[in-house]
A and B are shown apart, each in its own frame.
Chain A
């Protein structure tokens, strides 16, 4: 089955700096890669996703890059703000078949210091 590795497990940055979180996946059939933000005690919320036919996607201060050959994808947050502090999870999914379950990484606790 799919295995997703995520690094780093914790990341502390100063407000205004950039943050980068990296994930690798094992199943070359995976073709959909969402990123979720989870604040303490809350549900995971989708912040951005990327399909395997795209190498990069950007939404304001957030961008995701995908390298299918190397089987890794990254989340980039620019101009970080204290409200970006949360746990970020990457995930992978194969969008064929009939299941569409997500396999998650272990999460990165991002702390943005004012």
Chain B
């Protein structure tokens, strides 16, 4: 069964550094998402992406965050200048179409900002 994949699985960075988290959604999916989960807390929506543009973003997704789908397969989340509070697990997800279809999650990238 096709799966969403993410790299790296773990990333440690210094505060103020830029990080890029990478995702490969399931190949025939059209809607893409980033969520984050701070340790011990719920999964929170960051941003949704459809038709090569952001369709919605949360309050968390400020100017330090950006997303791209550079080549039709990868979907990236960039954090320009990381803060301590960005430490979390970041999940990529995708849906084939809209409506009531299942949203599939990647295995996550655990980001630690020191």
- When distances are taken between beta carbons in the complex, the residues of chain B under 8 Å from A100 are 31, 48, 95, 98-99, 101, 103
Chain B interface (Cβ within 8 Å of chain A)? Answer: 31, 33, 35, 41-45, 48, 50, 55-56, 91, 93, 95, 98-108
Q: Can you list 12 A-B pairs with a CB-CB distance of less than 8 A? A: A32-B100, A43-B107, A46-B102, A46-B103, A46-B104, A95-B99, A100-B103, A101-B33, A102-B45, A102-B93, A106-B41, A107-B41
Q: Are the CB atoms of B107 and A99 closer together than 8 Å? A: no
Chain A interface residue count, Cβ-Cβ cutoff 8 angstroms: 24
* Cβ proximity bits A51-72 to B, threshold 8 Å, 1 near / 0 not: 1000000000000000000000
What total of A-B pairs shows CB separation below 8 Å?
A: 61
Chain A interface (Cβ within 8 Å of chain B)? Answer: 31-32, 34, 36, 42-46, 49, 51, 89, 91, 95, 98-107
Q: Are the CB atoms of A101 and B45 closer together than 8 Å? A: yes
Q: Are the CB atoms of B100 and A89 closer together than 8 Å? A: no
The CA of A96 and the CA of B33, in the complex, are separated in Å by 17
